């Protein structure tokens, strides 16, 4: 390419040539078709190699980055899980003495509550016995009411019935209600304690004393208080 330069002093112009784009000298392949083919093949192979190396480098870099991020995420996840597991183990180990103390306290409180209920049951039994004794001392003929209640479910005739009492209550009934005592065949039995009474017929025998009734009530109360053995 030439450029015509016009000077103001009207000097003659000269042609200007641009430098070649490549610093390497151009090769004339017009007379060497095989060389041209080889050069093209070499250039193509060099392009492939360069593209492969560039792609490999970029792939390695992307792979390293992806592997780093994946490894970091998996490491964080694994670390959190191991941290939680280790924390749970440490907590369980640290809580074992507290758990043992809690179990002992619970056992002690359970035993204390059981003892308290037993003492309450014994108190109820003793108070009931005292009330029964006082009531029978004032009204010994109440035993005859128990006898009449028992006879309604027993076979035999009333004249064949024997009523066994303790000597003390036998004497009180004879003294306080002789007319009622005359209607029954009362028998003093030294083997019976105060409040005890047995009804005997030719066909059957029944315990109508206060103690067995009290024992039945106490057993029911013990069951309600969960004091009976399984």
- Indicate the residue among 111, 138, 165 that finishes a domain: 138
Q: In what order do the strands lie in the sheet with 162-165?
A: 185-188, 162-165, 197-200, 205-207
190 pLDDT tier (thresholds 50, 70, 90) = very high
Whether residue 33 lies inside any domain: the answer is no
Is residue 137 over pLDDT 70?
Answer: yes
- List all residues 6 or more positions away from 162 whose beta carbon is below 8 Å from its beta carbon: 185, 187, 199, 200, 201
Query: What is the pLDDT of the chain when averaged over all its residues?
Result: 76
Whether residue 201 lies inside any domain: the answer is yes
Q: Take residue 41 and report the two structure tokens written for it.
A: 């093949």
Q: Take residue 190 and report the two structure tokens written for it.
A: 């030294």
Instruction: Tell me how crowded residue 154 is: count the other CB atoms within 10 A of its CB.
Output: 16
Q: What is the pLDDT of residue 6?
A: 47
Assess whether 144 and 217 both reside in one domain. yes
Assess whether 119 and 70 both reside in one domain. yes
Assess whether 108 and 168 both reside in one domain. no
- Indicate the residue among 138, 165, 180 that finishes a domain: 138
Instruction: Tell me how crowded residue 165 is: count the other CB atoms within 10 A of its CB.
Output: 28
Separation of alpha carbons 164 and 77, rounded Å: 88
Assess whether 128 and 159 both reside in one domain. no
Q: Lowest mean pLDDT: which of 5-9, 85-89, 202-206?
A: 5-9
Mind listing the pLDDT tens digit for each residue in 15-50? 655 555 545 555 555 566 666 667 666 666 777 777
Assess whether 151 and 204 both reside in one domain. yes
Assess whether 144 and 134 both reside in one domain. no
- The predicted model scores a pTM of 0.47
CB 199 within 8 Å of CB 154:
yes
Domain count, the chain: 2
**Bridge partner residues of 147 (DSSP):** none
Instruction: Tell me how crowded residue 164 is: count the other CB atoms within 10 A of its CB.
Output: 20
Assess whether 203 and 178 both reside in one domain. yes
Residues constituting the chain: 230
Provide, for the chain, the percentages of residues in helix, strand and coil under a 3-state DSSP scheme, each rounded to the nearest 5.
65, 5, 30
Separation of alpha carbons 121 and 119, rounded Å: 5
Element (H, E) at 164: strand 162-165
Whether residue 31 lies inside any domain: the answer is no
Q: What is the CATH number of the domain that holds 183?
A: 3.30.2320.30
Mean of the pLDDT values across residues 157-162? 73
Assess whether 119 and 130 both reside in one domain. yes
7 pLDDT tier (thresholds 50, 70, 90) = very low
Whether residue 37 lies inside any domain: the answer is no
Whether residue 207 lies inside any domain: the answer is yes
Question: 75-102 as b/e, with b when 16 or more CB fall inside 10 Å?
Answer: eeeeeeeeeeeeeeeeeeeeeeeeeeee
- List all residues 6 or more positions away from 190 whose beta carbon is below 8 Å from its beta carbon: 166, 167
Assess whether 144 and 133 both reside in one domain. no
- Indicate the residue among 93, 109, 138 that finishes a domain: 138
Full domain range(s) for residue 166? 140-228
Separation of alpha carbons 218 and 224, rounded Å: 10
């Amino acid at each position: 390419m030439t450029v015509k330069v016009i000077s103001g002093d009207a000097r003659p112009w000269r042609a200007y040539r641009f430098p070649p784009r490549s610093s390497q000298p151009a090769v004339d392949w017009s007379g060497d078709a095989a060389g041209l083919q080889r050069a093209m093949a070499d250039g193509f192979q060099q392009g492939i190699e360069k593209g492969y190396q560039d792609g490999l480098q970029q792939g390695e870099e992307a792979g390293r980055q992806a592997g780093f991020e994946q490894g970091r995420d998996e490491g964080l996840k694994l670390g959190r899980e191991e941290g939680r597991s280790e924390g749970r183990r440490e907590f369980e180990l640290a809580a074992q003495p507290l758990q043992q103390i809690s179990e002992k306290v619970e056992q002690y409180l359970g035993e204390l509550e059981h003892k308290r209920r037993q003492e309450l049951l014994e108190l109820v039994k003793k108070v009931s016995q005292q009330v029964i004794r006082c009531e029978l001392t004032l009204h010994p003929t109440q035993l005859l009411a128990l006898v009449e209640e028992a006879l309604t479910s027993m076979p035999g005739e009333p004249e064949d019935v024997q009523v066994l009492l303790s000597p003390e209550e036998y004497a009180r009934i004879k003294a306080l209600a002789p007319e009622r005592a005359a209607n029954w065949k009362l028998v003093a039995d030294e083997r019976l304690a105060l409040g005890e009474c047995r009804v005997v017929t030719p066909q059957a025998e029944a315990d109508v004393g206060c103690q067995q009734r009290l024992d039945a009530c106490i057993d029911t109360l013990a069951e309600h208080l969960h004091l009976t053995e399984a």
